[in-house]
Structure 1
Amino acid sequence: MCITAESLGSVELEDFMRQKLPDLLRERGEFRYEIMGILADVFASKDDLKQVLEEIRKLREDSNRRFGEMDQRFEEVNRTMNQRFEEVNRMMNQRFEEVNRRFEEMDTRFEVMYRSQREVRLEVSALGGRIGYGLEEIIRQTVEEFSGQSFKKFEHLRLRDSEGELYGIPADVEYDLYLEDSVNYVVEVKSHIKPGDVLIFHRKSLFAEKQLLKRIKPIMISASITKDAKKKCKELGIDLISRSVVD
């Protein structure tokens, strides 16, 4: 019976080749070399595999080297940018500090000018014997700066002395300014203060306490004051704001 490859199924053909192929390879050298050539074309040899692996290793090393160089470049770029940003930031800080310093100097100058203007207006007011609303505001600011308080209520104050307690006859008693807060003030503004002025104002402040039923702190503001008047203010507990002391 003649058996051909066409007459066998795939499974039967595989079984047949397993049985016959080893004998054929041993017995027929030409056939064996032919099969080896076919297998060599299909499967890589050990040397080929080594070569492929070596090429892969070199490719990986080259990639790592290039990535390392790129990392170094990025680090250099990052370092350069950081240095530039730091330099720009330093320059900006210097400029801002300079601008702030100039603004502070301007604020100081304006504050000095404002205080000088306020003092001049107070002196002019005292010389003329007139206290208006605008000057009441200046007096309030002066007392606030002196006392460290803030006064929401302040007004020109007039109290009636019906019994003539101060002047011997009934009269209106006027105060240049009355300021009300945790500590209440009555203010007297004069161009020049003498001891007699201090004594009169002391009596006026006591009268205000009696009439208002409140603790009153007297304060006098002037362009100048005598040494004796200043001493008398201290003795009587009268606060004083004065530009100069004269004999």
Structure 2
Amino acid sequence: MDQRKEKIMITKKIGIIGCGNMGGAILYGALKSGVLPKENAYVYDLNPAMMKKARGWGVNLAKDDEDVCKNSDIVLLAVKPQNAAEALAQCKDALDGKAMMSIVAGVTVERLRAMINGSLRILRIMPNTPAMVFEGAFALCSDNDFSEEELQEAQQIYSSIGVVELVPEVLIDAVCGLSGGGPAYAAMFIEAMADGGVKQGLPRATAYRLAAQTCLGTAKMILEMDIHPGQLKDMVTSPGGTTIEGCEALEKGGMRAAVMECINAGTEKSRRL
């Protein structure tokens, strides 16, 4: 069942430290969905190109990380793992008493607290890039110390641009392996499907559109009609038909085992970060 809720504009001021691919996707999605007023958003990124992009969205541009924190009620930390300590050090004491959402892969809440001056409330999140088109998948740590109001506002941001699941922090690495890297794996599958179509004579553009739409529609059926993937597969595979021949080829190629190992590899890498 589709879990997205009715969109309600949030009232707190949101700061974004790092407006790259993921931070930018979340900000853009929240702005376009109408959940976050642009005047309530404060952004800082070391990259001038990212700041120029944010300026085009009409948000407030902060002069540095500390300035973001001073002007915000809830801060989104959206930097690369290797840059987290430096970014948080630049916040100085401005995070004390604030709430912070972290999408920094592989960095636990315990490690984040050790990088920060003062005390604050932390909500760790694992997002993915389809947030840019309002189809993101977000895992929010259920074991957090946000206030009830802060958690509701955070959920409102992410549910407006995708699906939200609450999971304990111990499972966040598995989420990273599954939905964090999932868009890349799905894109590879779509590309492979299109290659197969091209091999059989379809024009490249047509093959990409058919493959991408097929994956999109299948995902929507599973989510919105609450259909088990196996049930959907059985709906398409007629006895002695063409689809069961394709399914057999995938099984012979070890697709299931390869995908499971793919998720395992991504999860283990996240644990090592």
Normalising by structure 2, what TM-score?
A: 0.22
Normalising by structure 1, what TM-score?
A: 0.23
Greater relative contact order (Cα < 8 A, sep 6+): 2
When Rg is computed on C-alpha atoms for both structures, the one with the higher figure is 1
* Structure (1 or 2) with the greater helix fraction: 1
